[in-house]
Amino acid sequence: MIVSYDENGGYPHPDHIMAHRVAVEAFEAAGDPDRYLGAGEPWEPSKLYYDRAFSPDRFRALHFALEEAGLQSPYAERLAAWLE
């Protein structure tokens, strides 16, 4: 089993997006003995899961809760980036 960020990197963070790309490549290549020679015995993971701790719904809820409390939300830019 492999656990990684989704294609948005959890939220649009370049390091997390790259971690997603690397995890997907590893998942697809793991059982192929002709890919990445010298990396050890091929082993095929059974599943690839995405961590959704940084979901848009979660940030949207935090954003509106802060605004309703009369506080400035630091999540407006992050939410806008998700819509792009």
* Each residue's pLDDT expressed in tens, for the chain with a length of 84 residues: 999 998 888 777 899 999 999 999 999 999 899 998 888 888 899 999 998 777 778 888 999 999 999 999 998 887 877 766
The phi-psi region of residue 38 (left if phi > 0; otherwise alpha if psi is between -120 and 50; otherwise beta) is left
Confidence at residue 84, expressed as pLDDT on a 0 to 100 scale: 62
Residue 33 shares a structural domain with residue 71: no
Residues 12 and 48 in one domain: yes
Q: What's the distance, CA 22 to chain centroid?
A: 11
What's residue 83's pLDDT?
Answer: 66
**Stated pTM of the model:** 0.64
68 and 43, same domain (yes or no): no
Residue 68: give the domain boundaries.
54-84
CA dist 59 and 3 (Å) reads 21
